[in-house]
Amino acid sequence: MLIVVAGMPGAGSSTVIQHALKLLRESGEGFASASSPASASASAGAVGFKHLNYGDVMFEIALQEGIVKSRDEIRKLPQTTQQEIQRKACDRIAALSKKENIILDTHCTVKTPFGYLPGLPAESLQKLSPRLFVLIEAFPHEIARRRSSDRTRERDVEDEKSIEEHQAMNRAISMAYACLTGAPVKIIENHDGALEKATTEFAELLTRISQNSV
């Protein structure tokens, strides 16, 4: 099973995924045990997901092929080269998802000088067959502030208006993804000071989908 989790830079998708997986590991059999100890116990074994970052897999491939030296160079590559790397990463991820449950940490669209580049074009969706799309969102002003204080890698300065536009385009394309795959789109809000709420919501979603029931 492959689950797509998408958030724009600053939305905190990677953090939400990491915290949720930690929560599931720590709670072990106890998680979600309030309502049904038996099924929770059964599900605890099933809730095993590998966290894979699409950009990391792309960087891995670009590095192996000697195309780039640092991660930020990827989005400065020619459009066709980016798409070629994207395709190879997709094949690798699709192959992995045959063997284990994957949470694919990615972007609905990547903002490039050529505009909003779809992160999961139809061709990729067909290979990946995602079971669920999760959008991690926050208010534009939260994302803008998080980006400005994030020094872990270079980022373009974008004002709130452009973040709002980007997030709206992401929602729009997520519905095209849903239409093509038949998979639902879940929006999880990750507001300042409410990481735990977002984490719990995502962890419960993972438990539910592993149990394949509501």
Site for its own copies, rule CB under 8 A: 76-80, 83, 109, 112-118, 120-123, 125, 131-134, 165, 168-169, 171-187, 205, 208-209, 212-214
Closest approach of Cβ 116 to its own copies, in Å? 5
Closest approach of Cβ 204 to its own copies, in Å? 9
**Residue 44, C-beta contacts closer than 8 angstroms, at least 6 positions apart:** 24, 28, 29, 31
Task: Compare residues 50 and 161 and give the one whose CB is closer to its own copies.
Answer: 161
Task: Compare residues 148 and 172 and give the one whose CB is closer to its own copies.
Answer: 172
Task: Compute CA 7 distance to the chain's CA centroid, rounded to the nearest angstrom.
Answer: 6
Please state, in angstroms and rounded to a whole number, the distance separating the CA atoms of residues 177 and 119: 10
Residue with tokens 């394309």: 173
Tokens of 40: 């929770």
Tokens of 158: 């974008």
Closest approach of Cβ 90 to its own copies, in Å? 11
Tokens of 26: 């720590």
Closest approach of Cβ 64 to its own copies, in Å? 22
Tokens of 84: 């070629």
Task: Compare residues 87 and 92 and give the one whose CB is closer to its own copies.
Answer: 87
Please state, in angstroms and rounded to a whole number, the distance separating the CA atoms of residues 74 and 154: 13
Task: Compare residues 105 and 137 and give the one whose CB is closer to its own copies.
Answer: 137
Torsion of CA 147, 155, 150, 119, to 10 degrees: 70
Task: Compare residues 114 and 151 and give the one whose CB is closer to its own copies.
Answer: 114
Closest approach of Cβ 157 to its own copies, in Å? 17
Task: Compare residues 34 and 149 and give the one whose CB is closer to its own copies.
Answer: 34
Checking DSSP bridges between strand 2-6 and strand 132-137, what pairing results, if any? parallel
Closest approach of Cβ 191 to its own copies, in Å? 14
